[in-house]
Amino acid sequence: MSKLSIRDLNPAGKRVLMRVDFNVPLDDEGNVTDDTRIRAAIPSIQHLVDAGAKVILMSHLGRPKSEKKPEFSLKPAADRLNELISVPVKFASDCIGDEAADSVANLQDGEVLLLENVRFYPGETDNDPEFAKQLAENGDIFVNDAFGTAHRAHASTAGVTGHIDQCAMGFLIEKELEYLVEKLEDPPKPFVVIMGGAKVSDKIKILERLMEKADAFIIGGAMATTFRLAQGHEIGKSFAEREEEALELARGILQTAKENETPFYLPIDTRHTLEFEDDAPTECTDPWEEGGAIPADREGIDIGDRAIEEFERVIADAGTIVWNGPMGVFEKRGFDIGTKAVGAAIAANEGAIKIVGGGDSVTAANQFGFGDKMDHMSTGGGASLELLEGKELPGIAALDDK
């Protein structure tokens, strides 16, 4: 996927309209509580500032449902960026119209302006051509560095490209493509895919696509419970996809893995509890292969101790690792043992290419202090999943080819 890069631009003196992903969490006082996405955009912003461009940033925040709601204002994001970057960051109280136009007109070379939330207008998610044209009037060049929204054909990600002559990707999207596409074309072996989270049906396409390349799969979380149910085991009150359609998907994946002779590691045992609360007492099942079952009144909430030991051995030998999804309900104390252990095992494999595929896996890696040990942690949940599935992302496809 050879797209025009920010590296290829000559932006000096130009208005560069840049789509960033500043959809960050805020506390009750309106302060940014996690600035990871803001920090991820800084290399591209700083590059344009250093080149003498006028940098106009646009983003969404939350779901204001096309209404101008103060609690969804991007002003806190502007304030946080202002603390992190070498030049003052200005803020416009609108993203189109006179307020935006005046703010852009007053911008000097090497300065940064953040426009107000693009989702205050229905034309953003509708990819309305007129709204896209109004946004595009703010720039001479367009740079998309918002990987987290690249899978959406919105006005600020795809629509604007029809009204600006030069459209390129930023450093963040460039890195996402490097790790989620290029490095997985011929990955160092063994290539181990670790999948967790809630639903098999959400990740069936990834499992099917990577089945052709992966040397082994490790499955945890509620996904594993669905597979065990599909095999005919008792899973108690555990969350699982119990519909026959989902169970058939699980059986199909197991059959494909068997036919391809691809090791498909389900947890040998499962940690379960009576109480879904922090620090609740837990027990591990007997090995599933020997008839282990979760009692009818208990709920599986993590992989068991034997599963952790087996998964650690597989991970230690890997040459490439893709991790997408936690092993259990890691948000609760005492239910985080498996996710923490798997994250630690990945981090400890210094020779492997280690890719964390966005969403809860990134949250877990940061929470347990493994983030800096990973080669790449994707900033996009849905976008990374679709890229791993082999889908074309509209926000990237719309950019200029080299």
Residue of 69, 133, 199, 391 marked active site: 199
Average pLDDT over residues 131-147: 97
Tokens representing 75 are: 């002003």
Tokens representing 183 are: 């490095």
Q: Which is more confidently placed, 13 or 29?
A: 13
pLDDT in tens, 150-169: 999 999 999 999 999 999 99
The reply to whether 6-172 and 179-388 are identical in fold is yes
Is 65 one of the annotated active-site residues of the chain?
Answer: no
- Topology of the domain covering 179-388: Rossmann fold (3.40.50)
CATH no. of 6-172? 3.40.50.1260
Is 19 one of the annotated active-site residues of the chain?
Answer: no
Is 199 one of the annotated active-site residues of the chain?
Answer: yes
Q: Percentage of the chain surpassing pLDDT 70? A: 100
Cβ count within 10 A of residue 235: 24
Is 205 one of the annotated active-site residues of the chain?
Answer: no
Are 130 and 123 spatial neighbours (Cβ–Cβ below 8 Å)?
yes
Computed on alpha carbons and rounded to an integer, the radius of gyration of the chain in Å comes to: 23
Residue of 14, 19, 37, 340 marked active site: 37
pLDDT in tens, 223-235: 999 999 999 999 9
The count of C-alpha atoms lying within 13 angstroms of the C-alpha of 189, restricted to the half-sphere facing its C-beta, is 4
pTM of the model as a whole: 0.90
Domain ranges of the chain: 6-172, 179-388
Residue of 359, 380, 381, 395 marked active site: 359
Cβ count within 10 A of residue 172: 26
Residue of 62, 319, 371, 382 marked active site: 382
E strands of 231-307, at which residues? 264-265, 270-273, 282-284, 299-303
